[in-house]
Amino acid sequence: MLSNHLQNGIETAKMVWSRIPNAEEGDHEDAGLLRKSDGSSVESLEYEVVENHAYWEEQDQRGKLFLVYYVVVKWFFALLIGIGTGLAAVFINLSVENFAGWKFALTFSIIQKSYVAGFIVYVLINLVLVLSSVYIITHFAPAAAGSGIPEIKGYLNGVDIHGVLLFRTLIGKIFGSIGSVGGGLALGKEGPLVHTGACIASLLGQGGSTKYHLSSRWLQIFKSDRDRRDLVTCGCAAGVAAAFRAPVGGVLFALEEVTSWWRSQLMWRVFFTSAIVAVVVRTAMGWCKSGNCGHFGSGGFIIWDISGGQEDYSFEELLPMAVIGVIGGLLGALFNQLTLYISYWRRNHLHKKGNRVKIIEACLVSLITSIISFGLPLLRKCSPCPDSDPDSGLECPRPPGMYGNYVNFYCSKEKEYNDLATIFFNTQDDAIRNLFSAKTIHEFSAQSLLTFLVMFYTLAVVTFGTAVPAGQFVPGIMIGSTYGRLVGMFVVNFYKKLSIEEGTYALLGAASFLGGSMRMTVSLCVIMVEITNNLKLLPLIMLVLLISKAVGDAFNEGLYEEQARLRGIPLLESKPKYQMRKMTAKEACGQRVVSFPRVVKVADIVSILRSNKHNGFPVIDHTRIGETLVIGLMPRSHLLVLLQSKVDFQLSPLPSDPRPGSRPIRHTPSEFVKPASSKGISIEDIHLSSDDLEMYIDLAPFLNPSPYIVPEDMSLTKVYNLFRQLGLRHIFVVPRPSRVIGLITRKDLLIEDSEESDTVELQSTSISAS
């Protein structure tokens, strides 16, 4: 039925197309978002990549060798991501601990003489650290502000925000978060570490940063979007694994929270990356234990060990635990809502006034934070030390400048401690350790905890959205464990059992707030278990999370989704919307379709590309008997490459010689690959002479010959699922077909490996026959 030359044209297209690695579709979003996501994502790109290499065509043997090379490189990359993220985490932690440790040691030594001088030094150090952070962000790496998780989530959903995975963003994130966390702001370093991991992975995938002359050619085999996405997924998991020393939690976080297309093969590789991170971090910790790393050895990485705490729980305790869950859900949802409003206001009124305003804002926040964290404990009366139990290893008051409970701060008598200073005038890691600590019943007064809760909650809300790298995990844990411990105090007083530990309730509080704000479930649960090293509390954490997430869901979406939406990242949810059920595919198509003929005048291409922002164009040809036929999809980006290179221009308006092989292939597949971290070319960048405009291009060799199609009256929910599940960029809506050539069922797709040679034989015969 197809005329011969058309058939051959399509064959050529299939040949060439299959050699382009991320050869599917691209889409300009109107919002200025740009991404080249491929539908071939879910195809077996391992084999497609094999095809790209010239020598593959020569013989199978060498192709298989390349496949082995490809797999080895893939695992080697997983190893490198693990090592890189682990080292970055160690570096950030080491720097933060040393800056903060040195800051507190200095302040404590000065306040022995003068509290005013100590206050000024404390404020100044914090200010300098925050200033350095905000300066890096505003002048060097604007994309490194915030936690980065919404952006990464968007990237893995198919939306690429410019600049998120650049080398400068990586550098800005690392040094920025050292400044912002070391400077004592109410934010954490865990979210930024996830972003750091993702950046490392992405840079590896493109063979280093091109701008800074770091790329190496032999690593550049990951050109398809699916490969890059897989690497970034590994990077996210590595980030969480490094941030919390929680390898399983990292895998689950990547799975539950960030990825949109998950394959079980990937799990294995992600898991490997996490394991590597765990080993790297453990090695570094071991090395630091001998005192090589300054303050880092004693404080250091998150593991708030409560394995020595509460062993068992009774059924009466379930009620207060449920109460914690409800509080967590309410406070978490409120947090999301407040940060949403403030971010919105900030974006529209503050941040568009330029970098200077951002810097002033961050410095102001730092000042307020310093004043509150220093000033409030001053107002608080000290409490006498409890009768110390020499076995517990708790010293009261602790020696100045050291880590631990029972801080002596502005106390008049010898054996006294300041409970507000113990949590407020401290690094967050140590504060949480103190809040989680067992065998310290009644260390904190309800008044102090309440004061701290209100102040810190406010600070966390205000700090969120300033132009510094900022995670919400640790502040969330701080807030949660405070009210958790508060509830725990009442429980201890009410039930009067010795086996109940306030620290356990603090942990549950932390879980509940994170659940109420971020709405993660399994991953959060595992992370909490891993950071506290106590498996026995697992069912309790589960219970609290169930309640807090359910309560939170009644009010709004999770923190990351809210923020992603605010930033204009159009995430496709996994579920189709309710109203899609009543719509058909035809009704959903927004714009008029603009299609190209097979051979098209250059001037026409230019005018069409200028006049609309569509990102893919159907290509239509005529058979000899005059029927029209859709022969494929031409992505805008490929058109731009063709216009820029000009080598495929021809004078004749007829199709070029259709026999494959008769004309030299003038494009290498890599020309069609968009670099991951640049905007690609735009039609405005291309300058064509008037002679060029009069020439023609035969599009057949460059189009995607078989995009996915749906009939016009298919329900939109079905279309949505097709689009979402396969990670597509374009679907053609076509009229109902006039006949069915065949039916594919499960049986047809169960090709046994043993039949391989036969099938391929058969298939090649049928091609030559056609």
Task: Please report how close the Cβ of residue 335 comes to a second copy at its closest, in angstroms.
Answer: 21
Query: Encoding tokens for residue 596?
Result: 């190209």
- Part of the chain binding a second copy (CB under 8 A), chosen from 93-101, 329-337, 352-360, 613-621: 613-621
- In the shown chain, the binding pattern of residues 106 to 135 toward a second copy, with x for contact by CB under 8 A and - for none, equals ------------------------------
Instruction: Please name the residue that has the structure tokens 């102090």.
Output: 448
Can residue 744 be called a binding residue for a second copy (CB under 8 A)?
yes
Task: Please report how close the Cβ of residue 583 comes to a second copy at its closest, in angstroms.
Answer: 5
Can residue 709 be called a binding residue for a second copy (CB under 8 A)?
yes
Task: Please report how close the Cβ of residue 149 comes to a second copy at its closest, in angstroms.
Answer: 16
Can residue 86 be called a binding residue for a second copy (CB under 8 A)?
no
> To 10 degrees, what angle do helices 115-139 and 60-111 make?
160
Can residue 393 be called a binding residue for a second copy (CB under 8 A)?
no
Which of 65, 342, 522, 686 touches a second copy by CB under 8 A? 522
Other beta carbons less than 10 A from residue 131's beta carbon: 16
Can residue 48 be called a binding residue for a second copy (CB under 8 A)?
yes
Can residue 38 be called a binding residue for a second copy (CB under 8 A)?
no
Q: What is the 3-state secondary structure (H, E, C) of 464-479?
A: CCCCCECECHHHHHHH
Query: How many angstroms separate the Cα of 608 from the Cα of each of 150, 298, 605, 700, 730?
Result: 34, 65, 5, 18, 18
Which of 216, 264, 690, 768 touches a second copy by CB under 8 A? 264
Can residue 739 be called a binding residue for a second copy (CB under 8 A)?
yes
DSSP string spanning 556-602?
Answer: ---HHHHHHHHTT--PPPSS--GGGGG-BHHHH--SPP--EESEEEH
Q: Phi and psi (nearest 5°) for 674?
A: -80, 130
Instruction: Please name the residue that has the structure tokens 């010898």.
Output: 414
Can residue 717 be called a binding residue for a second copy (CB under 8 A)?
yes
Q: Distance between CA 581 and CA 718 in Å, rounded?
A: 8
Cis, peptide link before residue 397, omega less than 30° from 0 = yes
Q: Distance between CA 35 and CA 616 in Å, rounded?
A: 13
Give CA angle at 419 (416, 423), nearest 5°: 135
Burial of 9 (0-12, 13-18, 19+ CB in 10 A): buried
Can residue 58 be called a binding residue for a second copy (CB under 8 A)?
no
β-partners of residue 634 are 617
Task: Please report how close the Cβ of residue 716 comes to a second copy at its closest, in angstroms.
Answer: 8
Task: Please report how close the Cβ of residue 60 comes to a second copy at its closest, in angstroms.
Answer: 11
Can residue 528 be called a binding residue for a second copy (CB under 8 A)?
no
Q: Which of residues 293-312 bind a second copy (CB under 8 A)?
A: 307
31/446 with CB nearer a second copy: 31
Q: Which of residues 17-36 bind a second copy (CB under 8 A)?
A: 18, 27, 29-30
311/694 with CB nearer a second copy: 311
Buried b (16+ CB within 10 A) or exposed e, 644-654: eeeebbeeeee
Which of 626, 689, 742, 754 touches a second copy by CB under 8 A? 742
Q: Which of residues 269-298 bind a second copy (CB under 8 A)?
A: 271-272, 274-275, 278-279, 282
Q: Distance between CA 126 and CA 181 in Å, rounded?
A: 9
Q: Which of residues 142-161 bind a second copy (CB under 8 A)?
A: 158-159
Q: Phi and psi (nearest 5°) for 320?
A: -60, -30
Give CA angle at 643 (640, 644), nearest 5°: 85
Which of 311, 316, 587, 657 touches a second copy by CB under 8 A? 587
Task: Please report how close the Cβ of residue 161 comes to a second copy at its closest, in angstroms.
Answer: 14
Can residue 630 be called a binding residue for a second copy (CB under 8 A)?
yes
133/563 with CB nearer a second copy: 563
Can residue 3 be called a binding residue for a second copy (CB under 8 A)?
no
Task: Please report how close the Cβ of residue 675 comes to a second copy at its closest, in angstroms.
Answer: 21
- In the shown chain, the binding pattern of residues 223 to 262 toward a second copy, with x for contact by CB under 8 A and - for none, equals ------------------------xx--xx--xx-----x
35/351 with CB nearer a second copy: 35
Q: Phi and psi (nearest 5°) for 214?
A: -110, -5
Can residue 661 be called a binding residue for a second copy (CB under 8 A)?
no
441/571 with CB nearer a second copy: 571
Q: Distance between CA 129 and CA 365 in Å, rounded?
A: 12
23/470 with CB nearer a second copy: 23
Which of 530, 561, 562, 698 touches a second copy by CB under 8 A? 530
Can residue 316 be called a binding residue for a second copy (CB under 8 A)?
no
64/211 with CB nearer a second copy: 64
Q: Which residue, among 258, 230, 351, 325, has the nearest Cα to 560 in the 3D structure?
A: 258
- Part of the chain binding a second copy (CB under 8 A), chosen from 115-123, 135-143, 326-334, 740-748: 740-748
Total of residues contacting a second copy (CB under 8 A): 135
Q: Is there a contact between 585 and 710 (Cβ–Cβ < 8 Å)?
A: yes
Can residue 267 be called a binding residue for a second copy (CB under 8 A)?
yes
Can residue 568 be called a binding residue for a second copy (CB under 8 A)?
no
Task: Please report how close the Cβ of residue 332 comes to a second copy at its closest, in angstroms.
Answer: 16
Can residue 535 be called a binding residue for a second copy (CB under 8 A)?
yes
Q: Is there a contact between 133 and 362 (Cβ–Cβ < 8 Å)?
A: yes
Can residue 705 be called a binding residue for a second copy (CB under 8 A)?
yes
Query: How many angstroms separate the Cα of 582 from the Cα of each of 690, 715, 733?
Result: 50, 7, 17
Other beta carbons less than 10 A from residue 262's beta carbon: 15
312/684 with CB nearer a second copy: 312
Can residue 554 be called a binding residue for a second copy (CB under 8 A)?
no
Query: How many angstroms separate the Cα of 546 from the Cα of each of 338, 515, 519?
Result: 23, 8, 9
Q: Which residue, among 560, 558, 540, has the nearest Cα to 550 in the 3D structure?
A: 558
Cα-to-chain-centroid distance, residue 322: 31
Can residue 327 be called a binding residue for a second copy (CB under 8 A)?
no
Say which amino acid occupies 651.
Answer: L
Can residue 699 be called a binding residue for a second copy (CB under 8 A)?
no
Task: Please report how close the Cβ of residue 568 comes to a second copy at its closest, in angstroms.
Answer: 11
507/543 with CB nearer a second copy: 543
User: What is the biggest distance separating any 2 CA atoms in the chain, rounded to whole angstroms?
Assistant: 103
Which of 479, 525, 527, 641 touches a second copy by CB under 8 A? 525
